[in-house]
Amino acid sequence: MNSEKDDGGVGADTNRLVGVAVIFDFASIWERWGFGNEDDFLRNVAKDMWDDESLDAQFFIEELKQVELMTDWFGEEPFVPGGRAAAMQFATLLVGCAFATQAMKADIDSRIGWYYACEAKHWLGILQGTISGRGLQQEVASTTFSARGLDKRHAENRQMKATVLAWCDQNMANYKSLDKAAEAIAGKQVPMSFRTVRAWISEWKKMRSTASP
């Protein structure tokens, strides 16, 4: 590791600085796609991830897998090849942004922090490779893909999270651990992974602890 570790890595790369750099690379791609300028990306995408205490990049990997298997865009339009490619590029950006955010939140020069930073660079490279020579804006111009579909999916995810939190209010007393509770609801009450559901249950527990006198 570098000798700058104790003073926060000033003047040298740390997992946090790598995360920041990747976030700005994604912001630049966002602007090239015509979805808004870099500030719009930082405000509407990156900040939401930063504020999410249960952020887990694996959740967005699952989103990417779902997009790959979708036959239509939320029941409104059939997926054509260009539309699928555009949607998958968008989902790939969210995966990388999530890893970059986790890298920024992790302890400086920690093993997990560098894992997140390397994953963020990996997903940035994947996205840069898929858009090389054409760019998503060309796909958007020729298909019905739009950000409103992602907005709808995010609304569905928020609804599923609310379902999990409400379930916790009613049932958590019956379980001795967060793992057991997550096993009881993941893939049954909501179509989400154990890891994502457990993160939501952990967030519920933290909210309950904060609310307790």
What pLDDT is stored for residue 193 in this prediction?
Answer: 75
pLDDT at position 156, please? 66
Q: Which two tokens stand for residue 56?
A: 């887990």
Nearest to 201 by CA among 158, 170, 160, 172: 172
pLDDT of the residue at 73: 55
Q: What is the DSSP letter of 42?
A: I
Please state the separation of Cα 124 from the chain's center in Å. 13
Q: What is the pLDDT of residue 8?
A: 40
pLDDT reported for residue 170: 92
Strand partners, 72: 78
How open is the CA angle 3-24-196, to the nearest 5 degrees? 90
| pLDDT (0 to 100) of residue 101 | 95
Nearest to 94 by CA among 137, 124, 134, 128: 124
C-alpha span between 85 and 111 (Å, rounded): 33
CB 106 within 8 A of CB 15: yes
pLDDT in the model for residue 5: 38
Given a cut of 50, the residues of the chain with pLDDT beneath it are 1-11, 135-148
Q: Give the pLDDT confidence of 28-73 residue by residue, as tens digits.
A: 999 888 888 889 899 888 998 998 877 888 888 888 887 777 765 5
* Cα(213)–Cα(208) distance, integer angstroms: 10
Q: Which pLDDT score is estimated for 51? A: 87
Closest to 60 (Cα-Cα) out of 146, 119, 130: 119
Report domain extents, the chain. Answer: 11-145, 146-213
pTM for the predicted model, two decimal places: 0.61
- In contact, 143 and 86? CB cutoff 8 Å: yes
C-alpha to C-alpha distance for 109 and 11, rounded to whole angstroms: 14
| Alpha carbon distance, N-terminus to C-terminus of the chain | 44
